[in-house]
Amino acid sequence: MAIAHTLVPRVTSVAPSYQHGQAPDYDTASMAELRAWVDTIAELTQPDRVHWVDGSRAENTHLMNQLVDEGKLIKLNPEWRPGSYLARSHPSDVARTEARTFIASNREEDAGPTNNWADPTEMRATMNTVFAGSMRGRTMYVIPFSMGPVGGALSHIGVQVTDSAYAVASMSIMTRVGASVLERIADGDPWVRTVHSVGAPLQPGEADVEWPCNDDKYIVHFPDTLEVYSYGSGYGGNAILAKKCFALRIASVIARDEGWLAEHMLLVRVISPEGKQYHVAAAFPSACGKTNLAMLRPTIPGWKVETLGDDIVWIRPGTDGRLYAMNPEAGFFGVAPGTGESTNITAVETLWGNTIFTNVALRPDGDVWWEGLTDTPPEGLIDWEGNPWNPASGKPAAHPNSRFTVSAAQCPQISDDWENPEGVPLDAILFGGRRASNVPLVVEATDWTHGVFLGATISSERTAAAEGTVGELRRDPFAMLPFCGYNMGDYFAHWLNVGKSLRFDRAPRIFQVNWFRRGDDGRFLWPGFGDNARVIDWIIRRVEGQVSAEATPIGRIPLIDDLDLSGLTIPEADLAELFDIDPQAWLAEADSTEEFFEIFGDRLPAALRSELDALRYRLAQTQRSLT
């Protein structure tokens, strides 16, 4: 089959033309390598056309209009949501497919026990089989993109080829796309190769469907050659390969080799009443309040929070002995349900327009709705599958994993310098999980190694029988369990090694937080949301040495009088329970931690085993003193 490449004549030019689908005409060996790779993928997948994405407004407008005309997007009412669209995925394609996500490292032990390993030779053969002819009848888009500002010291670039226009539109929001990236490639900058197909070729004359996908799905990472192949899914991180696939799984491997950290974290600037700035990164598993903290509006007077990033942070040691952090993404890809005026007004205000919504409900007036946006659902909703919604059905109007994709620049709390290519110096790192018991509201690590131990043991308690045994711990170290691209035992060791490169007086302080502790009656003991700023206030004052802390077997906790609780009415018994440490319960948790550590065998750093032994010793000492 002849491929309709939209090529222009080769010319030698400092700034070659690159417009509306044309291939670049840079005359360099690096660009020749890129064109040859694109040709190889096109020969395998057999698209009808190849379109090089230039990232222009005109191109995006044409693409969105095309998707509307094809019935793949619904244009929302511009009066309520200008420049915004609704997509509905196939019911079988609504989330990440972790069971079909593979790390195809040369050695199985390098993938580690928490990843699905695949033999790279066998997996390449499988990929060649499923991708063969997978783009017939479709356009193959070539997307040059940058994670982080183009050319920034902390940035990395890549190229994604895809047959999904929805993926192109999403990548154009989530990354920096266009000619400036190709200039870096032409100059010889290294780049990551990512390939995506929905796996739904069209026969001549065959009509397309609203959401093409395939029941057979693969998301495969080749860390030794820095490649990603994704097949069969058009949804979220399965199709937006710059996100979890590149910015975490592949980037974590690059970071290991280059001496930095690629983390599943938010990043904020906290400004004190005195106007002093502090920078905080935080790692939370899903459903633990990460987005809410990223867009925090403090309830205590004088404090202000500016958003720098809500999901991924790249962190590098500086020459001054500090850590510098940057959000490599250009947009937010957030979960819609639970996002409302009472929980995250900043996120709601960010979504005023220019947003792609996926699998939310449609209102009769052409706007969108999801559970949690308002207390009462409007009448006449069309649910995420396109059917009239009946509140009595017991089914949600929006899918629980429905999403919004929007530029970070629209966030009213975004920092003016959020795209600073040098990043910001970190003052504190937080780790947190959803724990109904045991874990106090906030605990400070005693040093960097203890902080790594806290990060490695982050977990959430299962909350319903349908999810498993109530109270059972679901481990998610550093909130990276699904996203680390190599053996997590080696990942823990890498964190320890990064700490060795820092000045002890300039390394960020590490804390564990838990907004979700409950009383015996099941109610939350801490109000959460904007009042979490009271914990941040204490953390900042600890960094500044303005308040002391109480030493406990698990770390340092606040003195109650040092917490700013003005305007709150929290019973003394609740405050005591928020910081209660039961040695017997913690010894049982230490046993659970040992079981978890055992899966890493000799890849677990000895320092973490020592931390566990020391924890047990301190707990036993405390238990003896109580009896």
Residues belonging to the active site: 288
Residues in the chain: 627
Residue 450 carries which side chain, given as an amino acid letter? H
Distances (CA, A) of 106 to 109, 231, 474: 9, 21, 29
Cα atoms in the 13 Å half-sphere on the side-chain side of 358: 26
Structure tokens belonging to residue 323 = 């850590």
Task: Give the position of tokens 């010291």.
Answer: 153
Contact indicator for 163, 137 with CB cutoff of 8 Å: no
**Per-residue b or e along 238-261, where b marks 16 or more CB atoms closer than 10 Å to that residue's CB:** bbbbbbbbbbbbbbbbbbbeeebb
Distances (CA, A) of 279 to 231, 395, 423, 616: 38, 41, 10, 33
Residues of the chain by 3-state class (helix, strand, coil), percent to 5: 30, 20, 45
Contact indicator for 458, 431 with CB cutoff of 8 Å: yes
Compute how many other C-beta atoms are within 10 angstroms of the C-beta atom of residue 15. 8
CA distance 341 to 326: 28
CA distance 434 to 285: 8
Distances (CA, A) of 175 to 146, 181, 423, 498: 6, 11, 17, 27
Outline where 501-605 has alpha helix (H): 533-543, 572-578, 583-598
- How far out from the chain centre does Cα 298 lie? 23
